[in-house]
Chains A and B, each alone.
Chain A
Amino acid sequence: MDKLPLTTLRTPFTNQRPQSNYLRAVLAIAWKDLAAELRSRELLSSMLVFSLLVILIFYFALELDVKAREGITAGALWVTFAFAGTLGLNRSMAVEKDRGCLDGLLLAPVDRSAIYFGKAISNLAFMLIVEAVVLPVYSVMYNINLFNLGLIGVTLLGSVGYIAVGTLLAAMSVQTRTRDVLLPILLFPLVIPVLVAAVKASSGFLLALEMSEILPWLNILIVYDVIFIAVAFMVFDYVVEE
């Protein structure tokens, strides 16, 4: 058994208290999630396996290798991302709630919104990692070239909007009785503009349509992202305080 030293803790600080740094806190939270995930890989593996299964199911359900693929591809991809996303969001928040760690974060002398941004960044990272794997796999399986800069840009914009709202709603749903089940129910109706715009814009890029046709969809995505990041930032306090 370890012998306890009896030295008291030196107090390096005098009267000056170090002021908490917002950016450092946000990055610390994001880093913490990523580091923990790198160890256990639970979240990523479940999201990945789920996504690949969904794509496989789509083959049988929609006969995806039939000619008119480019039309459905964007839709199939986004349905996959939307469902896999809820897995990640749920898991990421559950970790905080289960061990009481949310309190640990709330005790930090930073603005609450730092927690929101930190979590949102790590959630976004997870979603992007999954998408980065799914897109090539889909390309290979269905013989479609998805290495389209426009498509990747749209995926990024859409994911940001999805995660912005998803992180906020996950923080709410994890505090209810129904927990995991509630998140998709709360999230999907609100995230429809993202899905519609992302699918249309993606299809537009895949079918090499005129930029003027794709632009309205990109506008919607950007407007959605900006509005909801701002609102989530303002409203997060109400969701975590008691």
Chain B
Amino acid sequence: MIEVKKLVKRFGMKAVLRGVDFQVEPGEFVALLGPNGAGKTTFLRILSSLSRPSMGLVKVAGFALPAHSASVRQRLGVVSHMPLLYGDLTAEENLQFYGRIYNIPALNERISEVLDMVGLATRRRDMVRTFSRGMQQRLAIGRAVLHDPDVMLFDEPYTGLDQDASEMLDGVLKNVAAVGRTVVMTSHDLARAEELATRFDILSRGVIAASATHAELGNSNLLTFYKQALAG
């Protein structure tokens, strides 16, 4: 589903990603971990076609980037730590807007469905400005699944959420992934990552330092695995 070979990304002369190799099969839920500045956000931006690779091969859902970015975007749902929502519009209007841009048919029914899934049906006609951070994140996920993407990218979705909101987000994420979607999520929250993901990749200093599936991790702690990967 996602194929990355020798990806290099430079900003001017500074190399942030230095030869990343990354493969994801359909249905996998990969937690991309790593210290700040490792390049996780940059990597996700390249996968989501928001940023162009300096060198290397990137393919998402069978389409090469940056050549076929429009096709990739049709099949991609992105949630970043910014909500990407318009405060002065209602939840419904926000979804209507994105629905029109993605040219989704039977939009109103779809919106009802999505709002139900993220638990915001009762706040349909309220302005997003009045939403708490947790509610905004949930609506953001709703926006991201609106067009039924095959691949979902989450960049630190738990940022700024309290305990209750985080638990709600867990539920929504499990829901979203359960339909066989391919998910890549970056996070600093190792416990959550361990619970949700099927595979863990550590990005350090611009390359994938280590990778292990849940099964391979076995009895050992994700934290020790993480620390070992960074040290090595």
Question: Contact at A242–B45, with CB atoms within 8 Å?
Answer: yes
**B78 and A100 contacting across the interface, CB-CB below 8 Å:** no
* Contact status A32-B97, CB under 8 Å: yes
CA distance A28 to B102 in the complex (A): 10
Task: Work out how many contacts link A and B, with CB atoms closer than 8 A.
Answer: 129
Contact B103 A24 (CB under 8 A): yes
CB-CB under 8 A for A28 and B97, given A9-B145, A109-B70, A110-B70: yes
Binds A, one of B114-122, B192-200, B208-216, B217-225: B114-122
Instruction: Give Cα distance in the complex from A6 to B170, angstroms.
Output: 12
Determine, out of B23-31, B32-40, B83-91, B182-190, the stretch whose residues face the partner at the interface.
B83-91
Contact call A10/B113, Cβ cutoff below 8 A: yes
- A220–B103 CA distance with the chains assembled, in angstroms: 39
Contact check, B103 vs A20: say whether CB atoms are below 8 A apart. Answer: yes
Does B82 lie within 8 Å of A99, measured CB to CB? yes
B137 at the interface (CB under 8 A from A): no
Whether A108 is near chain B, meaning CB under 8 Å from some CB there, is: yes
Query: Chain B interface: which size bin?
Result: 35 or more
Q: Are A3 and B119 in contact (CB-based, < 8 A)?
A: yes
- Most A CB atoms within 10 A — which of B84, B102, B119? B102
- Residue ID in chain B nearest A108 by CB atoms: B101
Q: Mark A22-63, 1 if CB is under 8 A from B, else 0.
A: 001101110110011101100000000000000000000000
In the complex, A8 has a CB within 8 A of chain B: yes
- The A contact surface, by secondary structure, is loop
Chain A residues 153 to 181 lying within 8 A of chain B, measured CB to CB, are none
Are A20 and B74 in touch, CB under 8 angstroms? yes
On whether A6 and B175 interact (CB within 8 A), knowing A24-B103, A100-B84, A107-B76, the answer reads yes
Interfacial chain A residues near B45, Cβ < 8 Å: 242
- CB neighbours (8 Å) of B6 from chain A are none
* Contacting pair B82 A11 (CB below 8 A): no
Q: Which B positions have Cβ atoms within 8 angstroms of A?
A: 45, 48-52, 70-71, 73-76, 78, 80, 82-89, 93, 97-98, 100-106, 110, 113-114, 116-122, 127, 143, 145, 147-148, 164, 168, 171-172, 175-176, 178-179
**A-B residue pairs in contact (CB < 8 Å), sample of 21:** A8-B175, A9-B145, A17-B75, A20-B102, A25-B100, A29-B101, A32-B86, A36-B88, A37-B88, A39-B88, A99-B84, A101-B84, A101-B86, A104-B84, A104-B85, A104-B143, A107-B48, A109-B74, A111-B70, A242-B50, A242-B52
Contacts from A to B (Cβ < 8 Å): 1-13, 17-21, 24-25, 27-29, 31-32, 35-37, 39-40, 95, 99-101, 103-111, 241-242
